[in-house]
Amino acid sequence: MKLSVIVPVYNERNTVQEILRRVRSVDIGEIAKEIIVVDDGSTDGTPDILKLEEDSTVKVLRHAVNQGKGAAIKTGLPHATGDFIIIQDADLEYDPDDYRTLLAPVLKKKAEVVYGSRFTGEHRDMLFWHSVGNKFLSLVTNVLYNTTLSDMETCYKLFTRGALDGIEIKSNRFNFEPEITAKVLKKKIRIYEVPISYAGREFEEGKKITWRDGFSALWALVKYRFTN
């Protein structure tokens, strides 16, 4: 079996080398790993670092200009050959040591899709309005799609290959998160949640998501409830 790790990257020169080290070194037993990095038009020196990191374990794909997280994931997905696929942000907010926790339900045949919840595991306090926004979007998801997710916006989303069959991603930016959630739930796949650790960073540390992305996510949840 193999786990494909898709890493969208945009201007993360201070963290990308360390996150790749952590992904490479995490022990997930007998499951092989492939790492697919998509540099989304970085301009801060990240491409130079990735040139040094590319080897037999890390494949680097590049966008000429910045297109957004969703676009980077769409570029990476066709190159993923694993039985399981997970999204890994290039900052240090999420810990690859949690891969084992995320994989456990699918290995036990309990789930096809597993989300890592930042609100049920140990975590560094996040910004208040980010917390409110995340919980509100999860509530809207639950109302519209008849589910009980605690953290729809989490980066750590793990899919079996079959769960993604037939799903076409259209979103190019952070609205990837509600779109993929909506389309998984519309396939009648129940999402399994597990607690993960989380170390949220501040805007001065490079955090990119803003309140505007919250409105985009809300619109995506409503739109994909009634359209494909």
The DSSP result for 41-82, as a single string, is S--SSHHHHHHHH-SSSEEEEEESS---HHHHHHHHGGG--S
Q: How confident is the model at residue 199 (pLDDT cuts 50, 70, 90)?
A: confident
**How much is the pLDDT for 144?**
97
Output 75 or 121, whichever has higher pLDDT: 75
The mean per-residue pLDDT over the stretch 64-81 comes to 97
Q: How confident is the model at residue 173 (pLDDT cuts 50, 70, 90)?
A: confident
Q: How confident is the model at residue 208 (pLDDT cuts 50, 70, 90)?
A: low
Residue-averaged pLDDT of the chain? 92
Q: How confident is the model at residue 203 (pLDDT cuts 50, 70, 90)?
A: very low
Output 118 or 174, whichever has higher pLDDT: 118
Looking at the chain, the whole-number percentage of residues with pLDDT higher than 70 is 90
Q: Which fold is adopted by the domain 2-226?
A: Spore Coat Polysaccharide Biosynthesis Protein SpsA; Chain A (3.90.550)
Lowest mean pLDDT among 19-23, 51-55, 135-139, 214-218: 214-218
**Does residue 166 register a pLDDT over 60?**
yes
Lowest mean pLDDT among 5-19, 120-134, 186-200: 120-134
**How much is the pLDDT for 117?**
96
* pLDDT tens digits along 147-160: 999 999 999 999 99
Please give the torsion angle defined by the CA atoms of residues 207, 212, 218 and 221, in that order, rounded to the nearest 10 degrees. Answer: -70
H or E element, residue 219: helix 211-226
**Does residue 213 register a pLDDT over 80?**
no
The conformation of residue 27, written as its DSSP 8-state character, comes to -
* CA atoms of 151 and 114, how far apart (whole Å): 11
Task: Give the CA count within 13 Å in the CB-facing half-sphere of 34.
Answer: 16
Model confidence, pTM: 0.90
Residue 131, classed as helix, strand or coil, is helix
